């Protein structure tokens, strides 16, 4: 299967299967209450049952599935309460992202943010929400990487994935693309001069607006 050609990322087969099933859950292919049958998944993915079993155990630890006695593994997914928790936790720690990123970001990473922003500006004029969503995700992932904290980066990248659908829908709100572009511009200008207070303030303001929009949709 093409999925498992991704060995270039040096991920184990179990990790690739975990990523695939998690993405299918978060994208709505599997919904709350669906049963995930180990042998069926192994057949669909063209792998043995062992890495599928291990991937399902990891998904259970992540809280996305539940192993119910006499029933098997069932999808729990992301609830509205989960989304609200994620939004609040994200808001609380994004300030730390602003501080650490502004202090630790490299010139190369600043150039990367500038390139992403330029593309965001271009696609905003074209009202291309899907492309903006991809670039928005990349912009924030670059900020997380710039903190030089793999733990902070890992947690926030997961959060972005968990609320992927809600974030995408919020960008479709009338006028949101233009406002979001300006918010990203303020973040970029602050981080370019390594102003930690201004970067932190701009990032928290951006996340606050984004959270409010998401909450209005869930």
44 shares its domain with 115: no
Per-residue pLDDT at 8: 46
> Comparing C-alpha atoms, which of 202, 105, 99 is closest to residue 148?
105
Among 58, 75, 92, which residue terminates a domain?
75
Count the domains in the chain.
2
- Cα–Cα–Cα angle for 146, 5, 44, rounded to 5 degrees: 115
Q: Classify 127 as helix, strand or coil.
A: coil
Q: What is the pLDDT of residues 78-123, one digit of tens each?
A: 888 999 999 999 999 999 999 999 999 999 999 999 999 999 999 9
Predicted TM-score of the model (pTM): 0.82
Residues 65 and 113 in one domain: no
| Residues 96, 48 share a domain | no
How far, in Å, CA of 137 to CA of 6, rounded? 21
Same domain, 126 and 48: no
Cβ distance 87 to 215 under 8 Å? Answer: yes
The tens digit of pLDDT for each residue in 11-68 reads 799 999 999 999 999 888 998 999 999 999 999 999 999 999 999 999 999 889 999 9
pLDDT tens-digit readout, 124-138: 999 999 999 999 999
Specify whether 43 is located in the same domain as 102.
no
Q: What is the CATH number of the domain that holds 27?
A: 1.10.10.10
Same domain, 46 and 123: no
13 and 97 co-located in one domain: no
Q: Which domain holds residue 61?
A: 2-75
89 and 63 housed in the same domain:
no
* Contacts of 49 by beta carbon, 8 Å cutoff, 6+ apart: 38, 39, 42
The domain boundary, picked from 42, 75, 108, lies at 75
**First-to-final CA distance of the chain:** 35
């Amino acid at each position: 299967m093409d999925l498992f050609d991704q060995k270039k990322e040096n991920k184990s087969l179990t990790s690739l299967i975990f990523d695939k099933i998690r993405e299918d859950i978060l994208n709505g292919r599997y919904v709350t209450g669906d049963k995930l049958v180990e042998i069926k998944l192994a057949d669909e993915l063209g792998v043995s049952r062992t890495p599928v079993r291990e991937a399902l155990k990891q998904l259970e630890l992540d809280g996305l599935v539940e192993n119910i006695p006499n029933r098997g593994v069932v999808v729990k997914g992301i609830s509205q309460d989960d989304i609200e928790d994620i939004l609040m936790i994200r808001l609380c720690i994004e300030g730390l992202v602003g501080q650490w990123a502004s202090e630790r970001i490299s010139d190369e990473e600043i150039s990367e943010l500038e390139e992403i922003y330029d593309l965001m500006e271009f696609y905003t004029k074209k009202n291309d929400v899907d492309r903006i969503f991809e670039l928005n995700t990349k912009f924030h992932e670059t900020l997380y990487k710039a903190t030089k904290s793999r733990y902070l980066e890992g947690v926030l990248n997961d959060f972005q994935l968990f609320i992927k659908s809600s974030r995408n829908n919020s960008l479709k709100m009338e006028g949101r693309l233009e406002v979001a572009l300006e918010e990203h511009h303020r973040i970029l200008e602050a981080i370019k001069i390594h102003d930690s207070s201004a970067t932190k303030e701009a990032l928290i303001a951006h996340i606050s607006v984004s959270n409010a929009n998401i909450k209005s949709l869930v």
